[in-house]
Amino acid sequence: MEPVRPEFAPDPDLSRDEMEALQHDVADAAEFTDSFDFAPTDVTANHVPPETVTGVNETLSTGGPDAGDDDTESGGIGAASDSERPLIAGVDQAFLDDHAVSAVVLLRGSTVVDRVYAVTELSTPYIPGLLSFREGGPIIDALSAVERDPDLLVFDGSGRIHYRQAGLATHMGVVFDTPSVGVAKNLLCGTPAESVTDRPAGWRTPIHADADVNADPGTVIGHAYQSRQYDTNRTINPLYVSPGHRVSAETTVELVAAVGGKYKLPEPTRLADAYADEVKRDLSE
């Protein structure tokens, strides 16, 4: 795929004020309403709702072809096989000295159909709120190597949950004008509607815009979503999911749940994370 709107590409050489100005433009260009042509229920064959797990490792599965196709899943009119399912791209990075290894794993259902990566020199430090100016370039490099246009991009980081409603997922979604969602492990800004501690799998609560966010106070900019949970001692923190581009806050939760597997992180992102680490390891030997 290629950047459809390169004018929004994050230039790491901009001044801080210019970066923030560009983010305002990105937020204005972003669409936080559903605008994609596949059903969330077609994303995966096995719509296993989030479970409360008892163990840690069960059977190792890295997304290889599944044993059989289920033509009789919920809905009935869904895709019959992985080959008909929407193309989902998971994006994540690993770092090595002053270089970023950006990895993209493409999935159709539970089948990994492609993996690409790019090694790019970093030119800007990590600054909360300006992440896309550090990782955006490297990510664009990797996504540009993807042959087919994904139906959805899943990022490791925030989307609309951002001071200027222009987090990494939103910024990249706008640059490629592709539906995208952000999945962060920590909350950047905004206020959860209720306590997020020790919640059962499947639980979610809205994240509202507060004084730190450039949006009408109370606007739902994302959700805390408990993808997995243990039934005993230790507890797992929730994920903070938010719209990137062309997806609503509510649908974002549904999509993240749909692409989620048996781990805390959704499969696309989890596999991209592992791939980035793998490339990094091979690269440092």
Partner DNA sequence: GCGACAG
Partner DNA sequence: ATCTTGTCGC
Annotated binding site for Mg(2+): 92, 156
Q: Measured from the CB of residue 253, what is the shortest distance to DNA in angstroms?
A: 16
Please, are residues 171 and 29 in contact by the beta-carbon 8 Å criterion? no
> CB under 7 A: which stretch of 25-33, 155-163, 196-204, 213-221 binds DNA?
155-163
Alpha helices in the chain (DSSP H): 16-29, 131-143, 168-176, 249-259, 267-283
Q: Confirm or reject binding of residue 59 to DNA (CB under 7 A).
A: no
Tell me the C-alpha distance between 167 and 189, whole Å.
11
Residue burial 161-174, b: 16+ Cβ < 10 Å; e: rest: bbbbbbbbbbbbbb
CB nearer DNA, residue 110 or residue 158: 158
CB nearer DNA, residue 106 or residue 187: 187
Strands 180-184 and 239-245: antiparallel
Q: Confirm or reject binding of residue 167 to DNA (CB under 7 A).
A: yes
DSSP 241-255: EEEEES--HHHHHHH
CB nearer DNA, residue 148 or residue 281: 281
Q: Residues 85 to 144: which contact DNA by CB under 7 A?
A: 92-95, 126, 128-132
> CB under 7 A: which stretch of 24-32, 167-175, 195-203, 221-229 binds DNA?
167-175
Number of residues that bind DNA (CB under 7 A): 32
Q: Residues 14 to 43: which contact DNA by CB under 7 A?
A: none
CB nearer DNA, residue 116 or residue 161: 161
Q: How far from the centroid of its chain's Cα atoms is residue 202's Cα?
A: 17
Task: Return phi, psi of residue 113, to 5°.
Answer: -100, -15
| Binder among 43, 187, 256, 258 for DNA (CB under 7 A) | 187
> CB under 7 A: which stretch of 33-41, 62-70, 165-173, 201-209 binds DNA?
165-173
Residue among 155, 174, 193, 147 at smallest CA distance from 246: 174
Q: Confirm or reject binding of residue 267 to DNA (CB under 7 A).
A: no
Q: Taking the CA atoms of 31, 34, 38 and 44 in sequence, report the sign of the dihedral they define.
A: positive
CB nearer DNA, residue 15 or residue 186: 186
Q: Residues 196 to 255: which contact DNA by CB under 7 A?
A: 232-233
| Binder among 108, 246, 270, 280 for DNA (CB under 7 A) | 280
Q: Measured from the CB of residue 204, what is the shortest distance to DNA in angstroms?
A: 17
Residue among 139, 137, 145 at smallest CA distance from 2: 145
Tell me the C-alpha distance between 15 and 21, whole Å.
10
CB nearer DNA, residue 44 or residue 163: 163
Residue 147, CA distances (Å) to 6, 39, 106, 160, 246 in order: 18, 23, 10, 27, 22
Q: Measured from the CB of residue 232, what is the shortest distance to DNA in angstroms?
A: 4
> By the criterion CB under 7 A, which residues form the site for DNA?
54-56, 92-95, 126, 128-132, 156-158, 162, 167-169, 182, 184-189, 232-233, 276-277, 280
